[in-house]
């Protein structure tokens, strides 16, 4: 999909030939080297934040956050990231825009691009961010759709690399729903070359097209299982998420019954490596997909993941906005 590369300082980024700007719509828009450029830059920005170094590279730039679903972490970390680089933010909830009154996405994209230097969008359909991307002359960043959550998985991978080292040498498990996070981890496994074992109940599998394409490209196994104990056996990282994602609240009760064997608790953790790290992108439903003691335990990195969202969002904004000149 993407072809021509442009240098941004020491960072290399790619423009997608289908688009008039460089968007972040899915991890598959990027190769391994590009995915690592976000992570390396985020780690550097994190160190510099700790040292009190102030940044101004996005002085005079403005981003628009268009969020049609609720958010604590993604919204605040994008806002904090943008202010931390010297820029400004305009936040629009689903109710605030004319999208709520069916203004065409192609009009919204072209209008917003006249006002802001990038759009960060949280919505339902992946086709919404893709349609915005087709018409926008400024970067469109996917801040979660029903299909993908690419910025989250970048910060999760950054966290894994900090805690456990190179992800390509690790075995990772996904336990629970085959949702937007699972789909994105599958993409990451194929692009970054790590082993991924998923355990999902029947009827709640990840997107079959994404899984098939990833398995074809992958250099290490990506396996879909039913048994959570088998999935976590010998893994370095156990990953989980809510059983009912945003927009599926009406399925909550039936999902709680189906997903019970997929709870990440002490017993399940015992089947993984003793040193295994637990990831949860948050928000968590304690007592459902994860027990309170595991979430609060020393093996769980959920709050580091949450912090790293801000550093990775700084890297994303810097790379994509500066690439536009």
Q: Tell me which residues touch ligand CP (CB under 6 A).
A: 71-74, 144, 152, 281-283
β-strands 140-142, 118-122 pairing: parallel
From the list ligand NVA, ligand CP, none, partner contacted by residue 72 (C-beta under 5 to 8 A by kind): ligand CP
From the list ligand CP, ligand NVA, none, partner contacted by residue 94 (C-beta under 5 to 8 A by kind): none
Q: What is the DSSP letter of 24?
A: B
Least gap, CB of 176 to ligand NVA (angstroms): 9
Nearer of residues 238 and 323 to ligand NVA, judged by Cβ:
238
User: How is residue 143 written in tokens?
Assistant: 């801040």
Tokens 């993409």 identify what position?
A: 187
Nearest residue to ligand NVA by CB is 245
Nearer of residues 181 and 224 to ligand NVA, judged by Cβ:
181
From the list ligand CP, ligand NVA, none, partner contacted by residue 258 (C-beta under 5 to 8 A by kind): none
Return residues touching ligand NVA (CB under 6 A).
144, 149, 179-181, 241-242, 245-246, 281
Side-chain half-sphere exposure of 53, counting CA atoms within 13 A: 10
From the list ligand NVA, ligand CP, none, partner contacted by residue 242 (C-beta under 5 to 8 A by kind): ligand NVA
d(CA 43, CA 208): 33
Nearer of residues 105 and 144 to ligand CP, judged by Cβ:
144
Q: Using DSSP, how many helices (H) and how many strands (E) does the chain show?
A: 12, 11
- Cis-peptide, bond into residue 105, ω within 30° of zero: no
Least gap, CB of 122 to ligand CP (angstroms): 7
From the list ligand NVA, ligand CP, none, partner contacted by residue 245 (C-beta under 5 to 8 A by kind): ligand NVA
- Contacts of 78-85 spanning 24+ positions with Cβ under 8 A: 78/120, 78/143, 78/313, 78/317, 80/310, 81/310, 81/311, 81/313, 81/314, 81/317, 82/58, 82/313, 82/317, 84/49, 84/55, 84/310, 84/314, 85/55, 85/56, 85/57, 85/58, 85/314, 85/317, 85/318
From the list ligand NVA, ligand CP, none, partner contacted by residue 241 (C-beta under 5 to 8 A by kind): ligand NVA
Nearer of residues 73 and 255 to ligand CP, judged by Cβ:
73
Least gap, CB of 150 to ligand NVA (angstroms): 12
From the list ligand NVA, ligand CP, none, partner contacted by residue 180 (C-beta under 5 to 8 A by kind): ligand NVA
SS3 274: coil
Q: What is the DSSP letter of 325?
A: -
User: How is residue 157 written in tokens?
Assistant: 């991978």
Nearer of residues 177 and 195 to ligand CP, judged by Cβ:
177
Least gap, CB of 283 to ligand NVA (angstroms): 7
Least gap, CB of 77 to ligand CP (angstroms): 8
Beta carbons of 320 and 24 less than 8 angstroms apart: yes
Measuring CA to CA, which residue among 148, 129, 149, 147 is closest to residue 139?
A: 129
Nearer of residues 69 and 226 to ligand CP, judged by Cβ:
69
Least gap, CB of 231 to ligand CP (angstroms): 22
Least gap, CB of 95 to ligand NVA (angstroms): 19
């Amino acid at each position: 999909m993407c072809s021509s590369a442009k240098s941004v300082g020491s960072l290399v980024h790619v423009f997608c030939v289908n688009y008039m700007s460089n968007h972040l719509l899915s991890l598959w828009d990027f190769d391994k080297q590009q995915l690592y450029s976000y992570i390396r830059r985020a780690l550097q920005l994190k160190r510099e934040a700790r040292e009190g170094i102030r940044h101004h590279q996005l002085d005079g730039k403005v981003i628009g956050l268009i969020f049609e679903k609720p958010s604590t972490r993604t919204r605040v970390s994008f806002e904090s990231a943008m202010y931390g680089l010297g820029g400004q933010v305009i936040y629009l909830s689903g109710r605030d825009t004319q999208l709520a009154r069916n203004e065409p996405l192609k009009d919204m994209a072209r209008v917003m691009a006249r006002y802001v230097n990038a759009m960060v969008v949280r919505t339902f359909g992946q086709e919404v961010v893709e349609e915005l991307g087709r018409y926008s002359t400024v970067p469109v960043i996917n801040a979660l759709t029903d299909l993908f959550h690419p910025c989250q998985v970048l910060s999760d991978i950054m966290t894994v690399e900090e805690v456990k080292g190179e992800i390509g040498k690790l075995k990772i498990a996904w336990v629970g729903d085959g949702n937007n996070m699972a789909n994105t981890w599958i993409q990451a496994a194929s692009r970054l070359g790590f082993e991924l074992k998923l355990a999902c109940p029947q009827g709640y599998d990840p997107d079959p097209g994404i899984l098939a394409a990833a398995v074809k490209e992958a250099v290490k196994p990506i396996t879909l299982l039913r048994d959570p104990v088998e999935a976590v056996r010998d893994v370095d990282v156990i990953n989980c998420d809510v059983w009912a994602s945003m927009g599926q609240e009406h399925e909550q009760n039936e999902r709680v019954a189906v997903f019970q064997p997929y709870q990440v608790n002490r017993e399940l953790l015992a089947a993984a490596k003793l040193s295994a790290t637990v990831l949860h992108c948050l928000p968590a439903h304690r007592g459902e997909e994860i027990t309170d003691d595991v979430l609060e335990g020393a093996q769980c990195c959920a709050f580091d993941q949450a912090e790293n969202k801000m550093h990775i969002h700084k890297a994303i904004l810097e790379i994509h906005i500066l690439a536009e000149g």
